[in-house]
A = this chain, B = another copy of it.
Amino acid sequence: MRIVQKYGGTSVGTIEKIKAIAEHLIKVRKEGNEVVVVVSAMGKMTDELIKKANEITNRPDRRELDMLMSTGEQQTIALLSMALKNMGHEAVSLTGSQAGIQTTGTHTKSKIKSINNERMEKHLADGKIVIVAGFQGMNEAGDITTLGRGGSDTSAVALAGALGCQCEIYTDVDGIYTCDPRVHKGAKKIDKISYEEMMEMSNLGAGVMEVRAVELGKKFGVPIYVGRSLGEKNGTYILEKEQIMEEKLITGLSINENVLMVNLQNLYNKPQKIANIFSALGKQDVNVDMISQSQSVEDMVDISFTCPATEEDLLDKAVEIIATQNPALKISKNQDLIKVSVVGVGMISHSGVAGKLFEIFGEKNIKFYQVTTSEISISFTMDKDRKAAAVEAISEAFNI
């Protein structure tokens, strides 16, 4: 069988860990598998390189930042390949460019455009373990680019797509949970989850997998396994909906604490007025998430929206502009909120989920400010101090 395995920064954080991975890979190879390995930079190396760049300037040129950062992964592939060869197994390290990863788009957040797997196929045919630098590729101009946050996961899934095989992501958590185990002790590990559910969960702040990698997995039909490095195979498989036999109504629950809600009261209900407000937010790069609107008095509306709490600086600039344009507007911020999301493909056919949730919240006296729904998720903003109550009530009601 052919496998792409990916090891993150923590998993390759020390020379000892790299040696342990080498031993494990030889075992997997000897079981008759063709192995391609994608690795990240060791430990905190990427952060250290960015720190060096910031000693030059706090706005380093992005092309040069890519040139700099890409050396992190290049060092890991060389060391892992050395370890394998030293243990007597043929191996070859390849930079993103050497592995045929062609990219497009902006430096520091480029996208994979195509993969020319000729060289990898040749090395695999020679019996070698192929080690590829994650997070990087080369664009049409012949410049090194990096793929941004979670880029090594994206590299691994894309390579698995190009090589027609499954992808195993090894990390420091042992799988995908119904809910963050730090928040809810009763959280259960999910054996199988669909791409769609995983994408919702990623978008909603469940940090294990970057959403782009899951999207690519869905696009190319790559089965993705997420689990702990070198452990038993008791992690989570991300698959097509159709491959998941026992479909549960609700797969998981995610909590996002990086939330800030803004209330705008006494706004004239004119489309242009409202458009101007969101245009001001967009110009400051504020990522507006949930929006709700309610009529207050005739011709006037109240609008609430949320954005990441980490974008408060940007938000404040935008709010200043909005206040100037709308002198009568009453503006307030609420920082003591969380966003609770319930995810499950079962929801598409069971419209009862929303009803059941409203019922639970009523019983437990949990107040919520906003609701948004997608085909397979429902999200609520609520007070931070109601988190435990909400998580417990939802977990109990849907058996997650």
Contact = CB atoms under 8 A, between A and B. Distances in A.
A389 to B, nearest CB: 50
A117 to B, nearest CB: 14
Assembly stoichiometry (copies): 2
B98 A81 contact: no
A83 B67 contact: no
Interface of A: 15, 18-19, 49, 52-53, 55-57, 59-61, 63-65, 67-68, 70-71, 74-75, 77-79, 81-83, 85-86, 92-93, 95, 98, 119, 142-144
Contacts of A55: 15
In this complex, the member of A61, A63, A82, A95 whose beta carbon has the largest number of chain B beta carbons within 10 angstroms is A82
A119 B61 CA distance: 20
- A-B pairs with the 9 shortest C-beta distances? A68-B78, A71-B71, A67-B78, A57-B86, A15-B55, A61-B85, A64-B82, A64-B78, A64-B81
B93 A64 contact: yes
A65 B78 contact: yes
Given A15-B56, A64-B82, 18 more contacts: A15-B55, A18-B56, A52-B75, A52-B79, A56-B82, A56-B86, A59-B86, A64-B78, A64-B85, A64-B93, A65-B78, A67-B78, A68-B78, A68-B82, A70-B74, A71-B78, A95-B144, A98-B142
Contacts of A81: 61, 64, 67
A153 to B, nearest CB: 22
Nearest to A66: B78
